Amino acid sequence: MKNDLKLPVQDVNLEPFMATPPQYTRKKVLMKTDKVYKCKIINVIDLTEYEKLFHLKILDRVERKIFQFRPGQFVMLEVPGYGEVPISLSSSTNNHEYIELCIRKTGRTTNVLHEASVGAYVGLRGPFGNSFPMEKMQGNNVLLIAGGLGLAPLRGPLYWVSEYRDLYKDVHVLYGAKEPSQMLFTYQYNEWEKVNHINMLSIVENPDENWNGRVGMITELLDEIEIDPINTYAIVCGPPVMFKFVCNRLDKIGIPMNKMFVSLERRMHCGMGKCCRCMVGSTFTCVDGPVFDYWSVLNLKEAI
Ligand SMILES: Cc1cc2nc3c(=O)[nH]c(=O)nc-3n(C[C@H](O)[C@H](O)[C@H](O)COP(=O)(O)OP(=O)(O)OC[C@H]3O[C@@H](n4cnc5c(N)ncnc54)[C@H](O)[C@@H]3O)c2cc1C
Ligand code: FES
């Protein structure tokens, strides 16, 4: 009997399908992020009563060189015997000597970490998560807006625009804190302004007797600068309640929601899409985020 059934090539030979495999980003993340880098604390800077800046050096010289990350990513920091916590990378992507992490003491692991001194050893996994699209922002004005501890994750993009300053137009840092004593990185503001030509504006809600700066809410700083909504990108880091006020205000100014980026924080365990601890709906904050554009955030149920 004649068999005139002609099978398409693809059915018997899967090669053509395999030529362009789908992007299993989550799998890629899994493959590279179970490595623990052994690090030594080489410097500790007291920033406020509750926040310290730690400089960590990866012990292995080769690993130190290959550890690369992007602004907005985070690491899982292990304090041996106590726990592991997600912390935003707060350093320059071009600093291959040490990693900067700004850490607030809030509980079990971070309290112990605040007791650690220079010479102590910790473990580090990562880098994890996506990042701010710094290349997309080139040729535009950039608004970097932070509230409180939000200046820690904002430092990554801030270093980036400073180091590639001529690729960006006007850069503004708007920083709001509850009290003057809670302001972070005050020793760097002059450098950002004078050396990196960044317009730095700060404001506090509750001034003390020594404060002679602005008093009010962070959104008030937006009245002080001229914003060209078509050519401006914004990065907003801070407590979720701040996102709503700031992003709604930016929306009114006319900045498209897909040009505003926020960094979402959720409780995390694995950092690599395994434990589901960080899920918002069907979205993994650790792998699909922590950086989201504001349009996506509004479409994520209960994200903020
Ligand atoms: C992506 C990401 C980046 C982060 N970056 C930084 C950073 O740069 N600097 C920094 O100081 N902290 C950062 N955090 C928060 C930090 O991970 C938590 O403060 C830390 O895990 C608390 O651990 P703990 O064992 O000290 O406290 P715990 O004893 O576990 O908890 C103490 C208190 O903190 C709350 N808490 C714990 N984890 C979180 C969380 N993820 N978000 C909000 N509240 C939490 C708990 O509900 C509890 O009230 C980040 C979190 C995420 C998810
Ligand atoms: S932290 Fe485990 S899935 Fe995101």
153-164: pLDDT as tens digits: 999 999 999 999
Query: How many angstroms does the Cα of residue 243 sit away from the middle of ligand 2?
Result: 23
Residues 117 and 173 occupy one common structural domain:
no
Residues 174 and 234 occupy one common structural domain:
yes
User: Is there a domain that residue 157 lies in?
Assistant: yes
Output the CA–CA distances (angstroms, integers) from residue 21 to 16, 17, 109, 180, in the order listed.
10, 7, 41, 53
Query: How many angstroms does the Cα of residue 267 sit away from the middle of ligand 1?
Result: 7
What's the CA gap between 62 and 146, in Å, rounded? 34
Q: For residue 274, what pLDDT is reported?
A: 84
| 35 band by pLDDT with thresholds 50, 70 and 90 | confident
Residues 240 and 211 occupy one common structural domain:
yes
Q: Which burial class, exposed, middle or buried, applies to 268 when counting CB atoms under 10 A from its CB (0-12, 13-18, 19+)?
A: buried
Q: Give the number of whichever ligand sits closest to the CA of residue 240.
A: 1
Residues 89 and 196 occupy one common structural domain:
no
What average pLDDT is seen over the chain?
Answer: 87
Ligand 2 contact, 273 CB (< 6 A)? yes
What's the CA gap between 234 and 258, in Å, rounded? 10
pLDDT per residue as tens digits for the range 244-269: 899 999 999 999 999 999 998 888 88
**In the predicted model, what is the mean pLDDT of residues 71-78?**
94
Point out the domain boundary residue: 98, 128, 158: 128
What's the CA gap between 205 and 177, in Å, rounded? 7
Contacts of 243 (CB under 8 A, 6+ apart): 236, 262, 294, 297, 304
Query: How many angstroms does the Cα of residue 106 sit away from the middle of ligand 1?
Result: 7
Q: Give the number of whichever ligand sits closest to the CA of residue 114.
A: 1
Helix boundaries (H) for 83-198:
108-115, 151-163, 189-194
Give the Cα-Cα-Cα angle 35, 38, 39 (nearest 5 degrees). 130
Residue with the nearest Cα to atom 24 of ligand 1?
107
What's the CA gap between 124 and 101, in Å, rounded? 11
Residues 149 and 113 occupy one common structural domain:
no
User: Is there a domain that residue 133 lies in?
Assistant: no
Q: For residue 32, what pLDDT is reported?
A: 55
Please give the share of the chain, as a percent, with pLDDT higher than 70: 88
Does 21 have pLDDT greater than 70? no
Residues 121 and 209 occupy one common structural domain:
no
Share in percent of the chain as helix, strand, coil (round to 5):
30, 30, 40
Question: pTM for the full model?
Answer: 0.87
Residues 243 and 206 occupy one common structural domain:
yes
Exposure string of 225-236, with b = 16+ CB inside 10 Å and e = fewer, is eebeeeebbbbb
Nearest CA among 184, 32, 51, 37 for reference residue 96 = 37
* Strand, helix or coil for residue 33: coil
User: Is there a domain that residue 7 lies in?
Assistant: no
Q: Give the number of whichever ligand sits closest to the CA of residue 110.
A: 1
User: Is there a domain that residue 48 lies in?
Assistant: yes
Query: How many angstroms does the Cα of residue 27 sit away from the middle of ligand 1?
Result: 25
Query: How many angstroms does the Cα of residue 267 sit away from the middle of ligand 2?
Result: 8
Task: Dig out the tokens for 38 from the structure.
Answer: 């052994």
Q: For residue 4, what pLDDT is reported?
A: 54
Ligand 1 contact, 103 CB (< 6 A)? yes
Alpha-carbon Rg of the chain, whole angstroms?
22
Contacts of 126 (CB under 8 A, 6+ apart): 33, 69, 73, 74, 75, 76, 89, 271
Ligand 1 contact, 266 CB (< 6 A)? yes
- Residue 256, domain CATH: 3.40.50.80
Ligand 1 contact, 268 CB (< 6 A)? yes
Q: Which atom of ligand 2 is nearest to the CA of 270?
A: 2
Does 23 have pLDDT greater than 50? no
Does 236 have pLDDT greater than 80? yes
Query: How many angstroms does the Cα of residue 232 sit away from the middle of ligand 1?
Result: 31
Q: Which domain holds residue 199?
A: 141-263
User: Is there a domain that residue 27 lies in?
Assistant: no
φ/ψ of 199, rounded to 5, equals -85, 115
What's the CA gap between 51 and 105, in Å, rounded? 6
Ligand 2 contact, 129 CB (< 6 A)? no
Give the other-Cβ count within 10 Å of 223's Cβ: 8
Contact assessment for residue 122 and residue 79, using Cβ atoms and an 8 Å cutoff: yes
Q: Give the number of whichever ligand sits closest to the CA of residue 285.
A: 2
Residue matched to tokens 């099978």: 7
- Residue 49, domain CATH: 2.40.30.10
Query: How many angstroms does the Cα of residue 287 sit away from the middle of ligand 2?
Result: 8
Residues 113 and 63 occupy one common structural domain:
yes
Contacts of 248 (CB under 8 A, 6+ apart): none
